[in-house]
Structure 1
Amino acid sequence: MRSPPPEVVASWPRPNYVNPETRGPDLIVAGVITLVFAVVCLVLRMYVRLRIMRKTELDDWVMVVATFFSVAATISIILAFDRFGWKYHVWDLTLAKLISGRQASFATQAFFIPATLLCKISILLSYLRLAPQNSMFRRLSLIAPWIVGATTAIFWIVLFTECKPISSYWNLTRTAHDCLDETPILFAYAISSVFFDFFVWALPIPTIYRANLPLHQRLAIIALFSVGLFVVVAAAIRIYYLDIVLRETYDVTWEGTHLWQWVAVESNLGIICGCVPWLKMLVKSWWGKRAGGTAGGSGGASGSGAARIGPNPDGVQTIGSKGAVFRMDTLGRVPTGGREKGPYMDLESCYDVSEVETRPG
């Protein structure tokens, strides 16, 4: 927090500790709505994995931990707004409120950084089920979590070491603060976060587009994954408000309301985007139950436009209808790159193979 020069303090109006001007509830509304959606999406994802697919993997549990940190960060932001003065002008705050607000700022960052990191790692790990063997996509999916993790861990460590003692971060009564300038640190983290968010979103797109599926289905899957663009946009907006708070104003509580609102939105959107691809499978499962076994009780699709699945002597299944055939192995994977035999892209985590519609031959 920048210390305002005396002439700036002199220009402030007289403090109003009784009935100060107050920000509207936008921050609380945005935080609560995105938090509820994030938790619901995680619960539904785990329902799919535990009850429908009856298996979980590391990325699922990493996302659970990420959600814990995101919940903590959002609650910290809401409490700071409602209890510690983030909805008031800085000149209407007592010294105790200013100190509490700085403590809340520290706690929020301590939760937010691991929340966004673990969310990215979970998504990157889930890509390993999509990535063909020996592909660049797979190599990047294996390497990226280490790069993202190491880079983000540096900023998290700096948060705890930029002030000595650590209480100098919020103890505004000290005459000399042994703290690093947090402006370049926060900007570096925010910019790197936008870059990694964009990288995580863009990484699977080329492979999905080259999958041996009809164009409209490839575009549908890409659209499903492109929900991640909302996280990139939220992170970019956060940079805009970060610049205002760090360089353009000393009324950091009043102007910082927008910044903290987008911190909460970004954190929770990451969870939502990481879980959305699983929800289509849930919808298909519920729709199948409502259909009451119209597929003839065989568990497969039926009808003139539906895909048919049948084994081949070589152990590789085919999906076909209307004269067109795609090859699929026993794990439900469709070949990518237009080749008949491997590598295969695992579609079970992002698309229901039973829904595949093929074009006329």
Structure 2
Amino acid sequence: MDPSLLPEPTQDIGQLGAPYNDLQIGTMVAFGITYFMATFFLACRYFQAIKIVKNVEIDLIILTLCYGLALAYFITMVKLMDYGWARHMTEIFASNWMNLLEFNNKLLPNTLIYLITPAVTKIAMLTVLFKINPSATYRICVVVIGVCIFAYTLVLTYLTGGPCTPLKGDETIKCLMNVAISQSVLNIASDIAVILLPIPTIISLQLSFKQKLSVGGILALGSAVVICSIARLPYSISLGSSDDLSWEEGILGIWSIVEVNIGIVCGCAMRLKKLVTAYLPRMGWNSSQKKSTPYGSSWGGTTATGSKGGNKTFDEANGLKGDYQLHSVQKGGLEAGSTDTILK
């Protein structure tokens, strides 16, 4: 963009950092609230892993990485505020055009972190979902979704760091806009896929009403991530034609922050059943079930018959003893040999 085309400033603001405007403050508040939620749920996961399960599993390690990336993303955003992020173009002087050039230098790590973080969060969720149903068809679906997420993230990261890098200046703006739109659309599609993936398995289970509510709550929380992705899309589309680009980027950034942090919350919450069962038993997650229908026919699962004519669960018939297998919660949810729903 030619500096001479910028609107005349309404006042001389000097430095573009503090004092922050309402949108910038709102960005910080949004991060503070959602990052606190992510911190709380991650702390609960670690408490459960160390105190109850006594095992730090791979999904928790991945979510911890996401937690660090979310903080780094916010830090890069705050640094961008010093160069005009979330300010109206009328506040940016032609005489301060070097601020805009420096803005592009700060924009690259911010964009790369955002491209990577949601994908890593979904990979963490898929490591959990992979284990809840031993059906080959189901697990192939999990792997395919994971490979697709990895592939499009790798391609978009390469484009942003290479041919479309903001370090090249205005010549790559259109390319960056296309990357932003593509990433928004693919994020929505992958979010929906991750949410819908376990539903057939969950429907096939005989769960108590409270257990259904708990699982439904996690799916609803996952839907909040999809809502954030959808809310970002119009702003991603309008960036290329916007006359107030820095302000539009600020609004887009708020939705991005909420999306990243809520994704971490969802990834942690889907594995907190052991903690809740141990310390909030009145929620009824350890109620006994007399009969279990582990998997519906759509997943190729049936109830097996034991040598004495009694019915066995799918896990018993196939020698599966892991805590991830999805079927009705047996009496004494924390006793050896019991199995859990998706909310471990």
Instruction: Tell me which structure has the larger Cα radius of gyration.
Output: 1
C-alpha separation in 2, matches of 1:203 and 1:255: 34
- The answer (yes or no) to whether the contact 2:174–2:240 under 8 Å persists in 1 is no
Go from structure 1 to structure 2 and tell me whether the alpha carbon gap of 1:102 and 1:45 turns closer, same or farther (over 3 Å shift).
same
Runs of 4+ residues deviating >3 angstroms: 11-15, 18-24, 177-180, 214-220, 342-356
- The answer (yes or no) to whether the contact 1:245–1:256 under 8 Å persists in 2 is yes
Q: Which runs of 5+ in 1 are unaligned?
A: 292-299, 308-318, 320-324, 328-333, 357-361
Go from structure 1 to structure 2 and tell me whether the alpha carbon gap of 1:70 and 1:18 turns closer, same or farther (over 3 Å shift).
closer
Percent identity, aligned pairs only, is 20
* Counterpart among 282, 288, 303 of residue 340 in structure 1: 303
* Per-residue deviation, 1:4: 6.1
In the superposition, the TM-score normalised over structure 1's length comes to 0.74
Instruction: State the aligned residue count.
Output: 306
Residue in structure 1 matched with residue 276 of structure 2 by the alignment: 283
C-alpha separation in 2, matches of 1:32 and 1:78: 13
- The answer (yes or no) to whether the contact 2:62–2:124 under 8 Å persists in 1 is yes
In the superposition, the TM-score normalised over structure 2's length comes to 0.77
Matched, 1:115 2:108: no
Matched, 1:16 2:12: yes
* Counterpart among 103, 106, 109 of residue 105 in structure 2: 103
* Counterpart among 227, 231, 237 of residue 237 in structure 1: 231
- Give SS of 1:212's match: coil
C-alpha separation in 2, matches of 1:349 and 1:274: 18
C-alpha separation in 1, matches of 2:3 and 2:167: 23
Go from structure 1 to structure 2 and tell me whether the alpha carbon gap of 1:236 and 1:178 turns closer, same or farther (over 3 Å shift).
closer
Q: Where do 1:113-262 residues align within 5 Å? A: 113-134=115-136, 136-163=137-164, 167-169=167-169, 177=171, 181-214=175-208, 217-247=211-241, 249-262=242-255
C-alpha separation in 1, matches of 2:70 and 2:78: 12
- Give SS of 2:270's match: helix
Q: Which runs of 5+ in 2 are unaligned?
A: 305-312, 334-344
Higher share of residues assigned helix = 2
Residue in structure 2 matched with residue 326 of structure 1 by the alignment: 291
Residue in structure 2 matched with residue 272 of structure 1 by the alignment: 265
Residue in structure 2 matched with residue 296 of structure 1 by the alignment: none
Higher share of residues assigned strand = 1
| Matched residue type, 1:274 | G
* Per-residue deviation, 1:211: 1.3
C-alpha separation in 2, matches of 1:179 and 1:231: 27
| Matched residue type, 1:120 | K
C-alpha separation in 1, matches of 2:188 and 2:164: 26
| Matched residue type, 2:294 | P
